[in-house]
């Protein structure tokens, strides 16, 4: 993919340099400025949420949430591993808050724990839930829309909630039902 994007970039740069040589540098600088603003926005969002996530781990809040969610995670993911359940709970919480980047480290830790017990069902289900991720509050999208100058950045709230909930329920149901061997 990097090669494809590099080729597209070089072709675009060549075309704009031929058509409007004075606009080429301006376009590059505007693009770099927008990329920097987006990167800074994402950095700030992730720094706040990763800090809160780490604080929740250190204070025992994530452990308490994992204990409350343990019956659900044990049943849904078919695991008895407490560390896996805690990381799955944190992953789900981060995804619910719309901070997929903060959810990833917890998913990796959970997959490592699930791999120790050779629970491929749980690994695949976590991947599916992570990929579709129900977002109650799509904070990353709202922050990016706000940084891009959107007048009503939070308008994405309900459509995002509906779409992510539908896609997660559908994908998980298809996987769970498909993983069972049906005998006629």
Query: Greater confidence, 96 or 154?
Result: 154
Q: Does a structural domain hold residue 110?
A: yes
Q: Does a structural domain hold residue 136?
A: yes
Q: Does a structural domain hold residue 115?
A: yes
What's the whole-number mean pLDDT along residues 72-93? 86
What's the whole-number mean pLDDT along residues 122-126? 92
pLDDT at 54: 80
Q: Does a structural domain hold residue 14?
A: no
Q: What are the pLDDT digits (tens) for 17-72?
A: 889 888 888 888 998 998 898 888 888 887 887 787 788 778 887 777 767 877 88
Q: How far is CA 98 from CA 4, 10, 11, 49, in A?
A: 30, 34, 35, 10
Is the model's pLDDT at 1 over the cut of 90?
Answer: no
Q: Does a structural domain hold residue 150?
A: yes
Q: Does a structural domain hold residue 16?
A: no
pLDDT band at 181 (very low <50, low <70, confident <90, very high): low
Q: Does a structural domain hold residue 4?
A: no
Go through 7-28 and write b for each residue having 16 or more CB atoms within 10 A of its CB, e for each that does not: eeeeeeeeebeeeeeeebeeee
Number of domains in the chain: 1
Q: Does a structural domain hold residue 2?
A: no
Whether this model's pTM surpasses 0.85: no
Find the domain containing 125 and state its range.
Answer: 33-178
């Amino acid at each position: 993919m990097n090669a494809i994007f590099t080729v597209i970039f070089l072709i675009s740069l060549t075309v704009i340099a031929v058509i409007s040589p004075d606009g080429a540098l301006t376009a590059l600088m505007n693009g770099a400025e927008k990329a920097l603003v987006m990167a800074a926005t994402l950095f700030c969002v992730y720094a706040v949420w990763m800090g809160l996530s780490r604080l929740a781990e250190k204070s025992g809040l994530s452990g308490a949430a994992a204990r409350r969610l343990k019956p659900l995670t044990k049943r849904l993911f078919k695991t008895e591993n407490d560390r896996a359940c805690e990381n799955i709970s944190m992953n789900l919480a981060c995804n619910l808050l719309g901070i997929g980047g903060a959810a990833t480290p917890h998913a990796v830790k959970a997959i490592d724990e699930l791999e120790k017990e050779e629970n491929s069902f749980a690994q695949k289900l976590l991947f599916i839930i992570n990929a579709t991720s129900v977002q109650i509050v799509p904070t990353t999208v709202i922050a990016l829309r706000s940084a891009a100058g959107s007048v009503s950045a939070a308008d994405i709230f309900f459509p995002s909630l509906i779409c992510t909930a539908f896609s997660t329920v559908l994908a998980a149901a298809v996987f769970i039902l498909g993983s069972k061997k049906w005998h006629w």
